[in-house]
Amino acid sequence: MKTGPKSSSGNYYFGIFLIQSFAAFLLFSFYRNNYTISRAPTWPNVTNSPAYSESESNLVVLLWTWPFGFQFSLNECPKPYDTHRCLLTADRGFYNIANAVVFHHRDVCGSKNTLPQIPRPEGQYWLWFNLESPSHSPNLNFFDKLINLTMSYRADSDIFTPYGWLEQNEATDNFTIPQKSHLAAWLVSNWNPRSRRVQFYETLKNYIPIHVYGQFHLPLGRMDTISVVSKYKFYFAFEKSIHTDYITEKLWKNALMSGSVPVVLGPPRENYERFLPSDAFIHVDDFPSAKELATYLLELDKNDQKYQEYFQWRSKLKPVTSLGWIANYCQACVELHKAPAFRTISNLGKWFT
């Protein structure tokens, strides 16, 4: 009679063990079936990224590399790009579930091995992103028959990411021409004696005084550019290479945001006039020679009324510059929400010239 309770107790604990084991098996099965997608393997050299939640994000956009290695917060998109939900991440562990992968050209153009070496998920967009000119964009053929969308300063890109643009003035916006104390300035970091812009400058400096800032010239900190350039009547926005729509911060930030009249050297005047009023800038091609350009600038220097005509457009419009790298990727999110047609670009270099 003493063994009865002992056997009953053993059966009781064995029953509890079976119930717990079955419950654990159900829990494991549920976890495995529902969470495998968010546990994609993390690849080497990844960075922290925001937590992914299907209830909060509609699209996953993967930065394959940080542009030029420069890292920045991906947690929030600035206005006006904050109306569409995306998970922006640099964590390659999200590759298999990413709706789109953005490849910054200068970071992956050195070798095809820098591109994904594992199968591409079906329907995944590959975006080619580049703000450099064709002259500084080698190995475009690496991307032939791989890219679905282009993102660049070219207005005919699938996703247009210019260095700057014009917006309508608000009623409270009032522009005052900054006080001027010097004639002309030029900020240049890439000094190539064989380039058209340097050769043009070498001739022009014989006729007018020009203060040159940058490497091998007068020092100028990045944060001081606008305040220093604003003291000059004219700023030479000379592009380092000449290509369609290649109009950079040299015009938008250095000249227009500083309140100086830009003297431009780049694509033809009609290209600039796609983005600016015709009386917002002076083009070097408007003059037969550097000497005649210099004569015109000296005339404007002595005629305040005529000089101020180059600012009349500012009564209705104002220049705006890019909000930085994050804005470009956020704009990609906005465009991807429009579900662009899925197609493959067969010859990237034929278009990007």
Catalytic residues: 132
Contact 41, 88 (CB under 8 A): no
Local structure of residue 218 (DSSP, 8 states): B
CB contact set of 17 (below 8 Å; sequence gap of 6+) = none
Q: How far apart are CA 298 and CA 209, in angstroms?
A: 10
Which sign does the torsion angle of CA 144, 147, 150, 151 carry? negative
Total Cβ atoms within 10 A of residue 349: 14
Closest by CA to 145, choosing from 351, 350, 352, 347, is: 347
Which segments of 155-264 does DSSP mark as H helices, in order? 196-204, 225-229, 249
Lookup: tokens for 62:
């993967």
**DSSP bridge partners of 80:** none
Q: How far apart are CA 310 and CA 177, in angstroms?
A: 10
Q: How far apart are CA 193 and CA 210, in angstroms?
A: 17
Closest by CA to 193, choosing from 172, 216, 213, is: 216
Closest by CA to 291, choosing from 209, 165, 206, 185, is: 206
Lookup: tokens for 351:
């278009």
